[in-house]
Structure 1
Amino acid sequence: MRWGEGARALIAAVCTEFAEFAEFTVDGQVGDGPLDWDGYAAARARATERTGETESVVCGRASIGPTAAVVVAFDFRFLGGSVGTATGDRIVRAFDEARRADLPLVSFLATGGSRMQEGMLSLRQLQRITRAAAGVRRVSVLGDPTTGGLWASLGAGADVVIAVAGAQVGFAGSRVRPVADDPAYTAEGQFAAGHVDEVCAPEDVAEAVAQWLLLLAAQPGATAEVPYALGESTPATDGWPAVRRARDPRRPRAQAYLDDYFTTRRHISGDRAGGVDPGMLCGIGLHARGPVAFAAQAGTATTPAGFRTATRLIRLANRVDIPVLTIVDTPGAANDPAAERAGAGQAIAELFAAVAASRVPVTTLVIGEGGSGGALALCAPDNTWITPDAYFSVIAPELGAAILKRPADEAPATAAQLRLRPQDLVELGVLRGIAGLRRW
């Protein structure tokens, strides 16, 4: 799939069917526009001659893979893909159509931002578009370039953000930013900073969009099923062996559970605030009953970015009405100075609140270490389960012994007193039950 050939080439490369909204095939602008900008009409005429389009976006109803959607595709050749009042009219109409038909909307961006020849009337289209987008499931694809207000509204505001490899992406365009050439203004730089979910080669974009639409549009089940246990079949007989078993590097981790649970899945990445935690795996996958959103700890100390990414995932699941599965496996929240500066306490509090306020059901499985509040923040209050080779504790036994001013060699005895084994936790009423092995 080649990029940069115009809106219709993009549509042809991604969509199996497309029907343009008929009333948008003519130009709604008259003369030199609302500001009477000398030469504006001539510039539009030249853009139409070059592209065959009457505006910088083409909008219509499409099929992408097996899923119906509404598509908004930008043509950078038309005045740099800029947005004026007529462009805003088209995009708002596209969102209205998506809402009316209960369809997701995919935007393919290639834009330099607002159209100067229409002044503030152009800029305020960002407000119109954002208001029109409320409640619509959205995927944005960031082409080269995606800069200015459209990145900061239609692009970054989507539920899932895909960037084309090598694309220039940033709020500041190349002619107005203080540094001419910096990785921060690229698709890869935005991904590293947690602002983009995926970076795809051009030839992979169609498949990525089709899979995301399938996940966002599928009929969800009522509640996520509890995954089967993949490790030990019976719990440890004492507290310290339970801790050692959970810390065993050979124990199945989150990736193994996600592979076993989902037939297909895609990941979101980043907290949208400059942070990425590779130890927090979040996304949406297809399970037997339908789509399930997941947030899974991968066995490391969870950073504030990880907690915020999980919060973002749960809020996304609530917007698109998909049940959530959380997988707990962490020694605890990161407690280094960087984590404190990044707002560890606030990030954990936001996740607690997101789980508590979730309208969609949340199912939790503890598969390894359940380390204090950093683990509990992901847990469903009334639907948390545990595998036989896991434990859950108010604090790690070694740290508990230290707080109680006990010698280090009393950590095993402290583990027994904490009653952190799976069977202890079920007996205490903290957890609902112990996950079973698959019965073939």
Structure 2
Amino acid sequence: MPERSAARALVEAIGRGFEEFEPPAVRDSVDGPLGWPGYDDQRARAAGRSGAEESVLCGRAQVGELPAVLVAFDFGYLGGSVGEAAGARIVAAFDRARELRVPVVSLVASGGSRMQEGICALRQLQEIARACLLARRDGIPHVTVLRNPTTGGMWAALSAGADVVLAEPGAAVAFGGSRVRGPGDTGEAFTAEGKLADGQVDRIVDDADLPAVLADLVRLLHPQRTSPDPAPVPASLAGGEPPATGWEAVQRARAADRPRAAVYLDAYFATRFEIGGDRAGGRDTGMLCGFGEHEGRTVAFAAQTGTANTPAGFRTAARLVRLADQLGLPVLTLVDTPGASNDAAAEHGGVGPAIAELFTAVAEARVPITTLVIGEGGSGGALALAAPGRTWITADGYFAVIAPESAAAILKRDPAEVPDLAGHLRLRPQDLLDLGFVQGIAR
């Protein structure tokens, strides 16, 4: 038998002082609940080869500065499959995390439910999903790491619904394993890289970097870092006074050398971790979302980068706002978009429902949201990210019901009248302050 299992080696590499939880008692019978011929011998051989007593190892450890509950799968034990005993361990681990008020880190490498235990194994997915839900309701963050392979029920019931999804390079990730898929069902769609492109994974992390990345996430998302106070308004990086005319406001907001979201985020946060993807097949690099450390506490952020956002961008921002609300973290939003994408692809992708989802997430949030308009505020695609009653603007920003050029098209005006229409729209920072839309012009 190996000196230590692969799961134990993994948890000891990630956390200090790992203490295994006492496994819950489960029913025991000859060859399992189905009486599967030779099942007891299979388990004994698996234990001898892997050094593991079960396919899952659960316990508590220091991950960086703070404690977390670790759930580690051992693929060497019957392919990391989950039966009654493994399912009970996972559920108990989430229950302990709720008691201890610490995050859960699941390190998954599994082929799914254990065939030799039949429906008794399959129904563990319901128990695990419920344990994840209860932890979510209690504000306990769950970070998962997709290792090779992560397929079947553990992808669907445990990992896919985690708050942050990491993956190791090249990992096979799919609901159906390679042996049960059709012969032509191969390729990137069934890999971690494919899931990243499709917005189902937040980041791919090399093994060497994993301990540090998990330490950062545990620190940023730990329940002890919640705060009822709003995120402070970022300092403006714009130079000069507010524009004299509406058209000047538009031109300044569209200037190529104006400070954009990434510059603001770098100035505001000491460190930050970005999440990406709407978990529904889409990713929009024009919407930066994640968590950062500002003046010693965690603030969630959703920031537009100056592009026309796609449905995936709005859904990702809604995901971020809901997650921050769940974890009790204040939110900072940076508005900068000429408007939502309005081409055929956006319509097929449900841009209207996606914007509605973000409006709803902002309206439902119990945590405070602070908004700074740092550039273009283009109609509903910008307004969906703005906090009612807590919105500020920089001197090089504007906010309008419609772009001046589009206003001219609708009114059948000559293009030469666009600058004049910009004035009528009253979109300058000082106009927005006078109209009560913004609370101030950031300095």
- TM-score category, normalised to shorter length: over 0.9
1:101-180 equivalences in 2 (<5 Å):
101-134=100-133, 135=136, 136-178=140-182, 179-180=184-185
Is contact 1:71–1:106 with CA below 8 Å preserved after alignment?
yes
Shift of 1:181: 2.7
Q: 2:381 aligns with which of 370, 374, 379?
A: 374
Q: Which amino acid aligns with 1:339?
A: A
Q: Which amino acid aligns with 2:157?
A: S
Mapped pair 1:189 → 2:194:
yes
1:354-369 equivalences in 2 (<5 Å):
354-369=361-376
Q: Which residue of 2 aligns with 1:33?
A: 32
Mapped pair 1:100 → 2:114:
no
**1:117-151 per-position Cα deviation (integer Å, ceiling 9, x unaligned):** 00011011011011112223100001000000100
1:32-431 equivalences in 2 (<5 Å):
32-134=31-133, 135=136, 136-178=140-182, 179-217=184-222, 218-221=224-227, 222-431=229-438
Shift of 1:286: 0.4
Q: Which residue of 1 aligns with 2:14?
A: 14
User: How many Å separate the matches in 2 of 1:229 and 1:23?
Assistant: 54
Change (3 A) 1:289 1:207: closer
**1:324-353 per-position Cα deviation (integer Å, ceiling 9, x unaligned):** 000000000000000001001100011001
**1:181-221 per-position Cα deviation (integer Å, ceiling 9, x unaligned):** 31001111000000000001111111111111111015233
Secondary structure of 2:68 counterpart: strand
Q: Extract unaligned runs of 5+ from structure 2.
A: none
Is contact 2:5–2:51 with CA below 8 Å preserved after alignment?
no
Q: Extract unaligned runs of 5+ from structure 1.
A: none
Is contact 1:55–1:87 with CA below 8 Å preserved after alignment?
yes
Secondary structure of 1:410 counterpart: helix
Secondary structure of 1:22 counterpart: coil
Shift of 1:27: 8.6
Q: Which amino acid aligns with 1:14?
A: I
User: How many Å separate the matches in 2 of 1:30 and 1:100?
Assistant: 31
Q: Which amino acid aligns with 1:262?
A: F
Is contact 2:106–2:145 with CA below 8 Å preserved after alignment?
yes
Change (3 A) 1:406 1:5: farther
Shift of 1:28: 6.2
Is contact 1:17–1:64 with CA below 8 Å preserved after alignment?
no
**1:214-259 per-position Cα deviation (integer Å, ceiling 9, x unaligned):** 1101523311110000022311111101100000000000000000
Q: Which amino acid aligns with 1:114?
A: S
Is contact 1:27–1:54 with CA below 8 Å preserved after alignment?
no
Structure 1 runs of 4+ aligned residues shifted over 6 Å read none
User: How many Å separate the matches in 2 of 1:227 and 1:123?
Assistant: 49
Provide TM-score, normalisation by structure 1.
Answer: 0.96
Shift of 1:53: 1.7
Q: Which shifted more, 236-245 or 5-14?
A: 5-14
Shift of 1:22: 3.0
Is contact 2:23–2:89 with CA below 8 Å preserved after alignment?
no
Alignment root-mean-square deviation, CA: 1.3
Shift of 1:31: 2.0
Secondary structure of 1:86 counterpart: helix
User: How many Å separate the matches in 2 of 1:27 and 1:342?
Assistant: 46
User: How many Å separate the matches in 2 of 1:329 and 1:289?
Assistant: 27
Shift of 1:94: 0.4
User: How many Å separate the matches in 2 of 1:23 and 1:424?
Assistant: 64
Is contact 2:173–2:191 with CA below 8 Å preserved after alignment?
yes
Shift of 1:23: 4.0
**1:349-393 per-position Cα deviation (integer Å, ceiling 9, x unaligned):** 110011011010000000000000000000001100000011000
Is contact 2:5–2:52 with CA below 8 Å preserved after alignment?
no
Q: Which amino acid aligns with 1:120?
A: I
